Amino acid sequence: TDQALAEEWIAGSRNFATKVWNASRFAMMNGANVNGPLPDRSTLNHIDRWILSRLDETIRNTDHLFETFEFAKGCEEIYHFAWDEVCDWYLELIKDTFAKGGAEADKTRRVLGHVLDQLLRLMHPTMPFLSEALWTALTGGESLVIAQWPNAKTVIEDPEALSVVSDMQRLITEIRRFRSDQGIKTSARVTARIEGLTGASAQYEAAIRFLVRLDEPSAQFNPSAKIEVGDFVVHFDLTGSIDVKAERARLQK
């Protein structure tokens, strides 16, 4: 049958291919690999456990949709997992881990390699050339054509990891929104105090600060603004960070 193709649709597909290519390149540059078994999940941090749980769910959902001939919905499941969760969140959240290095970073490299390996297998039926090039580079395998399809039988639920990462996502999103609303450059560092990070979430304060460019407060910390995000409160010292004249003009307008 004739198909309606819009340039915007083709551009969107190109952008997705570029996103996956760049994500895979970033992963391999940072040592992502498929060597040896995956570390036991009980030894992983919440971010790695979260992405593995979401990968399990994506494989199961995609498998079911492909088995029932819902190919468009299956591809949409893969698309959102790749773009929204792997590229936009997971790769960002693990940058602090890579920066610190050590045994924790080695585990994350193995998890990242596994996630990409499985994702590229899922993509292969509908994006054969891109996935083949990236998969063989990542794994050193002969070809995706003869590789095993991902196993969707076991889905390990991890509500604690899902909750911790969900809190991080909400907090990071609202801090970024606040910075944008205040006209603060994305490259500018701002001093802030974060309240409410308790329990498992407390160990990821450095990762949050790394992503939203927040410095630790000193003894002379003098907050001039704050935002509340659920149970969290973030106090900012915006001294020198805001163009007062431009901000006044914006508010008057």
> What is the structure's pLDDT at 150?
93
pLDDT below 50 — which residues of the chain?
Answer: none
pLDDT digits 0-9 by tens, 78-88: 999 999 999 99
> What is the structure's pLDDT at 247?
74
pLDDT digits 0-9 by tens, 159-199: 899 999 999 999 999 999 999 888 888 888 899 999 998 88
Long-range contacts for 144-152 (Cβ within 8 Å, ≥24 apart)?
Answer: 144/120, 147/121, 148/121, 149/121, 150/59, 150/63, 150/118, 150/121, 150/122, 151/59, 152/56, 152/59, 152/60, 152/62, 152/63, 152/64
> What is the structure's pLDDT at 153?
67
> What is the structure's pLDDT at 199?
86
Q: At what angle do helices 159-181 and 205-212 cross, to 10 degrees?
A: 30
> What is the structure's pLDDT at 157?
81
Q: What is the distance between the alpha carbons of residues 86 and 88, in angstroms, rounded to a whole number?
A: 6
